Amino acid sequence: MLGILIGAFSFHSLSENNIKLMTGVMSLTFSGYFFIAKVIGVTTKKRKASLLGGLFWGALSGFSSFSVHAGGPALNIYLLAQRLDKTLFVGTTILFFTTVNYIKLIPYMWLGLFQTSNLRVSLFLALFAPIGVLCGSYLHKRISDKWFYLSCYTLLLMAGIKLTYEGIGFSI
């Protein structure tokens, strides 16, 4: 909630490109370190969950989620380093973003950013949500932890590339 509040109060002051660039570089650094460590054979340390770390990365995720709809990288940096069981990882992510997305509605309305036309699109897309849930559940049961984490780091790297590219001023 702290990150969402900071995002709401700084909404008109901060550049969208700067936030994308910051989030992108952070994602590239974290995922790049993982892949370089794999190539040179270095084992990365498992990090313990901490109140301070959770508050920092949670706030950063809430801020970037509110500001540029890119809260995933910050949360992934915090959770991936803990090497959680994949079910716990996915469940934590779902609960976090369900909460963040509902809380964001309040400042979006306050800032006049909430559009009812978005609800029509959301309702239409909600028809496809059960298909996504079934596919995700199917894959979740069949993918190993190794491939799950490799996929997460790869997607984080791709998100970092995209956000950095857009943050510099290009669009994809």
pLDDT digits (tens, 9 = 90+) for 140-157: 999 999 999 999 999 999
Position 113 pLDDT exceeds 90: no
b (16+ CB within 10 A) / e for 99-138: ebeebbeebbeeeeeeeeeeeeeeeeeeeeeeeeeeeeee
Q: What percent of the chain has pLDDT over 90?
A: 71
Q: What is the reported pLDDT for 31? A: 94
Position 57 pLDDT exceeds 80: yes
Q: What is the reported pLDDT for 112? A: 85
Q: What is the reported pLDDT for 138? A: 96
Task: Report d(CA 47, CA 151) in Å as an integer.
Answer: 19
- 127 close to 101: Cβ distance less than 8 angstroms: no
Arithmetic mean of pLDDT, 114-138? 90
- pTM of structure: 0.84
- 145 close to 86: Cβ distance less than 8 angstroms: yes
Q: Which residue has the higher pLDDT, 142 or 112?
A: 142
pLDDT mean across residues, the chain: 91
Q: What is the reported pLDDT for 22? A: 92
The maximal CA–CA distance of the chain, rounded, in angstroms, is 52
Q: What is the reported pLDDT for 171? A: 66
Q: What is the reported pLDDT for 118? A: 78
Position 170 pLDDT exceeds 70: yes
